[in-house]
């Protein structure tokens, strides 16, 4: 074999190894993003399961606050529907609306001392607060993985290979509406 042929074969091997390395790193990052999305789903399911118990506890003490309770139920149903749609942006909007309506239930407890002292309500409030914290942590974990994945898709030479293999950037889980970033004002 000639030296030129060995050099060409060496270059081809190096290029093939580089492509394999880039492909494997893209798959690892894609799997991390998928895992992070799954973590969000687990925490959201936990919150969905807690909400009916919270509503039932509040109903007994604040029966004339029907409108607030109905808004929470509607927001929960909308969030569950958005979850099955697979669209991160729509799911983020629905989840942010649900978080806002849940705050209104906790604001109700200030007007009902018996409800505020109820051990079931306090336990559910603690569980829901813990779940909200876990959801926020899951959002940050997801967004960090999306950032890493999207960055990898944009840098050279990975962008060329990612484009050829049809890897697509992922959307961040974020709040877009300024109203959703504001504190809830509850009036009685």
- 48 located within any domain: yes
Number of Cβ atoms within 10 Å of the Cβ of 20 = 11
CB 43 within 8 A of CB 15: no
Residues constituting the chain: 188
* 3-class secondary structure, 65: coil
Residue 133 located in a structural domain: yes
- Give, for all 188 residues of the chain, the pLDDT tens digit: 689 999 999 999 999 999 999 999 999 999 999 999 999 889 988 888 888 888 877 776 666 567 777 888 888 888 888 877 767 778 888 888 888 888 877 777 777 777 666 777 788 888 888 888 999 999 999 999 999 999 999 999 999 999 999 999 999 987 655 444 454 444 43
CATH number at residue 114: 1.20.1440.20
Residue 53: the pLDDT is: 82
Residue 186 lies in a domain: no
In a domain, residue 23? The reply is yes
Q: Are 158 and 63 in contact (CB under 8 A)?
A: no
Residue 83, CA distances (Å) to 19, 41, 76, 86, 169 in order? 35, 8, 11, 6, 20
The predicted structure's pLDDT at residue 61? 67
Q: Is residue 148 part of a domain?
A: yes
Q: Domain of 48? A: 12-181
Domains in the chain, number: 1
Task: Output the pLDDT for position 64.
Answer: 59
- What was the pLDDT predicted at 1? 66
Cis peptide before 88, with omega less than 30 degrees from 0?
no
In which residue are the tokens 């969000």 written?
A: 40
Report the pLDDT value the prediction gives residue 140, as an integer from 0 to 100: 93
42 part of a folded domain? yes
Within-domain flag for 1: no
């Amino acid at each position: 074999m000639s030296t030129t042929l060995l050099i060409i074969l060496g270059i081809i091997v190096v290029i093939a190894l580089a492509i394999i390395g880039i492909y494997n790193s893209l798959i690892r990052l894609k799997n991390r993003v998928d895992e992070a999305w799954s973590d969000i789903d687990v925490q959201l399911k936990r919150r969905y399961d807690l909400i009916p118990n919270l509503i039932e506890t509040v109903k007994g003490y604040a029966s004339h606050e029907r409108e607030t309770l109905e808004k929470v139920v509607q927001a929960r149903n909308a969030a569950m529907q958005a979850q099955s749609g697979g669209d991160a942006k729509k799911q983020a909007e629905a989840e942010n609306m649900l978080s806002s309506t849940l705050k209104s239930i906790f604001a109700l407890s200030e007007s009902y001392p018996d409800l505020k002292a109820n051990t079931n309500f306090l336990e559910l409030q603690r569980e829901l607060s813990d779940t909200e914290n876990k959801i926020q942590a899951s959002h940050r974990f997801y967004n960090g993985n999306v950032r890493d994945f999207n960055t990898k898709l944009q840098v050279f030479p990975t962008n060329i290979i990612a484009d050829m293999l049809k890897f697509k950037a992922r959307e961040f889980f974020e709040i877009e509406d300024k109203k959703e970033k504001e504190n809830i004002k509850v009036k009685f």
